[in-house]
Amino acid sequence: MKNFFTSFKKSASLFAAFTMSAMTFSASAENLSGKSATEIAAMMTTGWNLGNTFDATGSSDLSSETSWGQPYTTQEMITAVHKAGFNTLRLPVSWGKHATRFRNGEGYVINEEWMARVKEVVDYCYNEDMFVILNIHHDNNNGNVVYALKDDGHSEYFIQLIWRQIAEAFKDYDQHLIFEIMNEPRLVGTSDEWWFNPENPGATVLPALEILNKFNQIGVDEIRGNGSEQNKDRVIMCPGYAACWEGCMTKYFQLPTDPTADRLAVSLHAYRPYDICLGSKDSWSPSYAKEIKDYFTPVYEKYVKNNIPVIIGEESMSAKFDSDGYYNQEDRLNWVESYYSITRDFGMPCVLWDNNVFKRNGGEAHGHFDRKNLTWYDPAFIQKIMDVLGIEGVDNISIDNSLAVGPNPATDMIYVTSENELQSISIYSTSGTRVLEKEIFGNNAEIGVSMLNRGIYTAVVKTDYGMNVLKLILK
């Protein structure tokens, strides 16, 4: 494996810090329609979550997107994710704080600016021909209670009106856009929040399961009732209680009645084995492979085998560091090998959870993509996913160590050198606007930047070895 980070000396006038993205990976650009949920699930291949971003509940305006410490989402981020081999993006969105309430809190109108911003990011994905999963996320949490699994009319009205507006806003989007009714609906803050006996739910959980079935049905009815052909054709993901194994395996969970045949999928979150994915264990054990297979086998038998796809909307294994800076990389690669092999064989596409935290943070260090620098914290982990799934045409870990970028002293020029054949350079502002694009040839090139203001830019340099992303600071 080549070195992931390459350092360069700083200059008084210009500094270029080396970062990386992967080679191009393309999906079909054709309009997608008429596919069953099973066919769509097979096309999704593998996905990535834009976590802790639009699902953040830190404010009620557009700043909410960055309120949990994430950078502003750009086209370049989504492009880099796609180039790494991911052709599906899950976009978790909280709507409650971005909806105006009326009639004693029983009605909701989504803020136009918020909806427009969500659509902008969905369009970023469409520009890359990616699938997008859009949902209602975190609006059942304490401190922002908008819906809960109780029959109070208030929650039912929220689900109904939010999905009515989302369906209208995206009525012209084809089957690349998938709707997920809710994220992890559960009895927040109770002893039954994350687990219950699926054979014999307690007196508190049983009515919650009935209400969940009703909420899923309301969501499907609003989406199909929009009237557009695209919404009639759209794949809809329906979660069980807490989107957990027990929630979809209990006999009390029922998929909604759908006027469009073969367009429903089960939404399942599976951080398994829990001990190493979210718990305190650091090391991989061979016994975990059997545990993963035993976990997914009954789900496959109940759903996938009967042409009801299961989409794993969240999964990951936490990175854990000791005091010497060592982290459990080899154990995580073993996990990828087993987890993705088993879910691949069962026909369950996985969407990697990413909260952009790559350090010891309990069981929640699920940072994979460094969104600020457009690099991967754990490129070997990402490459392993692609290798297991047989996704070719990507290069997540190979770095052009011969590439150097730096200042040409006393001029408004930057130079690029490489042992590999240079092909092109594109420079983008922090807002994502392309401000310079130029073909370059040979192994050495000088590029004039006198037209650029001093500041931070992103440069995409392509060689015959791959696509490299570089951060440029013009001082």
The rounded distance, in Å, linking the Cα atoms of 49 and 77 is: 12
Asked if residue 270 lies in contact with residue 245, where contact means CB atoms within 8 angstroms, the answer is yes
Residue 236 structure tokens: 């809809």
Q: Which of 184, 222, 246, 315 is catalytic?
A: 184
Asked if residue 369 lies in contact with residue 354, where contact means CB atoms within 8 angstroms, the answer is yes
437 is catalytic: no
Residue 397 structure tokens: 């870990």
345's CB contacts (< 8 A; 6+ apart) are: none
SS (H, E, C) 204-233: CHHHHHHHHHHHHHHHHHHHHCCCCHHHHH
**Judging by beta carbons within 10 Å of its beta carbon (0-12, 13-18, 19+), is residue 34 exposed, middle or buried?**
exposed
The rounded distance, in Å, linking the Cα atoms of 467 and 463 is: 6
Output b/e per residue, 275-314; b: 16+ Cβ within 10 A.
ebbbeebbebeeebbeebbebbeebbeebbeeebbbbbbb
The rounded distance, in Å, linking the Cα atoms of 79 and 75 is: 6
Asked if residue 163 lies in contact with residue 60, where contact means CB atoms within 8 angstroms, the answer is no
Say which DSSP state 318 is in: -
Residue 301 structure tokens: 């038998």
314 is catalytic: yes
Q: Which of 65, 128, 246, 314 is catalytic?
A: 314
Catalytic residues: 184, 314
